[in-house]
Structure 1
């Protein structure tokens, strides 16, 4: 089981050991969720950039911490592409590095822990999890906690 992740750091602030941590967390999550051979991207951006994306795609004109764009979500009028067996194309995660820093300070834990949390949160969205209802939120947040604990990334 492996997930190929293309990392893009528009901020030039994310260190190699943090990228390795995220890769490890995503692979652990994939193993726990029984995801085989998948591809995705993670882009680290500024608050200004994530605000643009949040406004464009969610209609919210404010910065946020993480946005996921799931490739497997079929929108209205979209046609499923069926081809040769290959890695699942899961989608893209965009993380605001300034918001990650702010939230780490606000919640009283490390930048690495917050970055790990946001990465797992975004990845679970790519896998179809959501938190629109209280019941779905309980399921998703319990899963996040289990993954972070299994990896050893505690608050």
Structure 2
């Protein structure tokens, strides 16, 4: 599995933490093998430009996902073994504001955004209430289990 992390911000990022978290989430979603994923951390100005260019929405956003091969979750009997999952773009400054508002650590917010982005790359969405419930429940379970195993 190839996971590339690029930090284009002045915010200190523990790249290993994000690689470990991505590997964990992808493993739980039965995506393994030769899958490629890129995680990019950007300044608010870059996030705002991408948000406007791709979604026609103003202002910086916390996370955006850019799928490539439209991979879907596998199963324990039939894991996804190869392909390019895509790119996840995270803005640490937006994440920090959200973390403060939610009263939790910035790293936890950014790991949540990573998990959210991976689920989008795997075809999950939250446009409809039923989809939102499924996606947000899954991302919460994945993040909490990752954090619990990380601390064990």
Q: Does 1:109 align with 2:118?
A: no
Q: With structure 2 as the length reference, what TM-score do the two structures score?
A: 0.85
Contact 2:5 2:19 in 1 (8 A): no
| Equivalent residue pairs, number | 139
Provide the rounded CA distance (Å) in 2 between the counterparts of 1:29 and 1:46: 25
CA RMSD after TM alignment? 1.8
Name which of 21, 28, 41 aligns with 1:25: 21
Q: TM-score, normalised by structure 1?
A: 0.83
How far apart, CA to CA, are the structure 2 residues paired with 1:19 and 1:55?
A: 27
Q: Deviations over 1:31-87 (max 9, x none)?
A: 1111122101111011111000000010112111000000134xxxxxxxxxxxx73
Q: 1:87 to 1:56 in 2, by over 3 A?
A: same
How far 1:117 moved relative to its partner? 0.3
Q: Which structure 2 residue ranges, 5 or more long, are not aligned? A: 71-80
Structure 1: stretches of 5+ with no match in the other structure: 74-85
- What is the aligned partner in structure 1 of residue 11 from structure 2? 13
Q: 2:39 aligns with which of 36, 39, 42?
A: 42
Distance 2:15 2:141 in 1: 20
